[in-house]
Amino acid sequence: MRAKVEVMLKDGVLDPQGEAVCHALGSLGFDGVSKVRQGKIIELDLADGTTKDDVRAMCEKLLANTVIETYRIEIG
């Protein structure tokens, strides 16, 4: 079984990497981009019997900094 975890900064948290990408896109002539938020995707190959609650615990303990980040889990 495979799980995909999408981790993003919470709204209102400064995203310097996203701002740098936005600036670089403008420098390359892509003027239609006004804001970029950058995150990460983590793919997990899970043993049979691993539950979504197990993945949620992984996120809470290691994969996401829940003070400044949100996460979304897809199992499939």
Show me where the domains of the chain are located.
2-75
Question: Tens digit of pLDDT per residue, the chain (76 long)?
Answer: 999 999 999 999 999 999 999 999 999 999 999 999 999 999 999 999 999 999 999 999 999 999 999 999 999 8
The confidence score (pLDDT) of residue 26 equals: 96
How many whole angstroms separate alpha carbon 39 and alpha carbon 53?
Answer: 22
Is the domain 2-75 a CATH 3.30.1280.10 member? yes
pTM of the full predicted structure?
0.88
How many whole angstroms separate alpha carbon 21 and alpha carbon 41?
Answer: 18
Query: Burial of 43 by CB count in 10 Å (0-12 exposed, 13-18 middle, 19+ buried)?
Result: exposed
Helix, strand, or coil here: 76?
coil
